Amino acid sequence: MKFEEKNIKYNLQGTIDKKLMKRISPTIVVIDYEMGNLLSVQKALQKIGCRVKVTDNPSAIEKATGLVLPGVGSFRDCMTNLSRKGLVDAVYKFIHSGHPFLGICLGMQILFTESEEFGRSSGLDILKGKVVPFCKKSGLKVPHVGWNSIKIRRGAPALKDIPDNSYFYFVHSYYVLPEDKDIIATTTEYGEEFVSSVWKDNVFACQFHPEKSQRLGLALLKNFKETVYAG
């Protein structure tokens, strides 16, 4: 159901009826698989006015209106935890439902076919491609930590009104190599050019951390919120 402010009822003090707001506002679900920056993602979404539920319940994930998969840590451990909690099928079903999905950092990488981190590990294979390490011969420090700019290659809805060459916060040692170059939304330079976000259908995923990227990070999350509320 499309969220429209005109449908919100006000009480005598002119404030929003909170009970009605809960009934008509979509809930964005953040997947809890015992890894990642769950609290910072939750707080960032709440700061822009989202109703947020952090859960590892497969049914709640499948029925979500918007879904966020954050992540910090090992690719293999992430896939192990998702499988152990019975969340892999829930993620597949949600993405196939067509509702908006946001993957952050490791939550972007595991969408791909495989990773070369600590040997070869299979990912969700929702997007074809692999995850590879930065080349340490470049002389740059690995992991790549700190602020860096993005070059916008495609105008994804999540990037609406975000200027080209905007700075976002990164923490990672690996990056994705998509087989389909048409899904590349942004690239970033760090010794070499790498893919810093992708967009395909209802899926937007970024290597950087919008929840740690201050004003522009919140702007990206607001754009994601708008796609959820417009569903």
Q: Please tell me what DSSP assigns to residue 161.
A: T
State the catalytic residues: 105, 209, 211
* Structure tokens belonging to residue 51: 């109703």
Please provide the distance, in angstroms rounded to a whole number, between the alpha carbons at the two ends of the chain.
6
- Convert 5-65 into a string of H (helix), E (strand) and C (coil): HHHCCECCCCCECHHHHHHHCCEEEEECCCCCCHHHHHHHHHHCCCEEEEECCHHHHHCCC
